[in-house]
Amino acid sequence: MTPDRRQIIAALLGLGTLPERGFTQETLPLSAADAVAEGWSRFFTPAELKSFRTLGDTLVPAYEGRPGALEAQAPEFLDFLLSRSGIDVQTLYRQGLARYAAKPDLTPLNKPWTLGNAPGGTAHPELAQDPYERFLRAAKQAFYQATVNSRQWAEASRGRGSSNLYWLPVASR
């Protein structure tokens, strides 16, 4: 027997405890919404998130009345997204951000996006040979996409030919 929300609320209000009703913490199932609504579980430490926010503000600053990465809360969204990403992506971001925090160097972004040794000269961040360059290019693309798909960007873009479609934030701090 699993409790419903009313039983849980009643237990929280002191109208009866879960153990009295035969429920233990192990028997409480997660609903689909509860499983994804953790919200506070993050990938970066507070110090790393500070560096990540600095990087985002540098790569996608606010301009011409449109929000930048910080105003669009892109670092927080990407922090959540990275917490749910594969180990290879997490490793790329963790190591890349550590190198950026030690010595902020964006010169790898000055290289042309079209890589001469890439098949057909295509421009994909993952084709960069240097892991730090791969990180910077992936982060730049991720910050840009998270920013232009935010509510803040859509609201600032009204009347400028924008579709006003955006993603809702995962959680706000």
Same domain (yes/no): 67, 117: yes
**Residues 98-136 as b or e (16 or more Cβ within 10 Å = b):** eebeeeeeeeeeeeeeebeeeeeeeeebebbeeebbbbb
Same domain (yes/no): 68, 19: no
Same domain (yes/no): 23, 60: no
Domain total of the chain = 2
Residue 166 belongs to a domain: no
Same domain (yes/no): 110, 146: yes
For residue 24, the enclosing domain spans 5-36
Same domain (yes/no): 141, 76: yes
Residue 111 belongs to a domain: yes
pLDDT at 54: 96
Instruction: Give the number of other CB atoms < 10 A from CB of residue 38.
Output: 14
pLDDT at 65: 86
pLDDT at 25: 47
pLDDT at 74: 94
| 169 in Cβ contact with 73 (< 8 Å) | yes
Same domain (yes/no): 32, 62: no
Same domain (yes/no): 119, 139: yes
Query: In a structure prediction context, what are the per-residue pLDDT tens digits for the chain, which is 173 residues long?
Result: 556 666 666 556 555 544 554 555 444 454 555 445 544 558 999 999 999 999 999 999 998 888 999 999 999 999 999 999 999 999 999 999 999 999 999 999 887 765 444 444 445 555 667 899 999 999 999 999 999 998 888 888 776 554 545 455 555 44
Residue 167 belongs to a domain: no
Same domain (yes/no): 14, 80: no
Same domain (yes/no): 11, 92: no
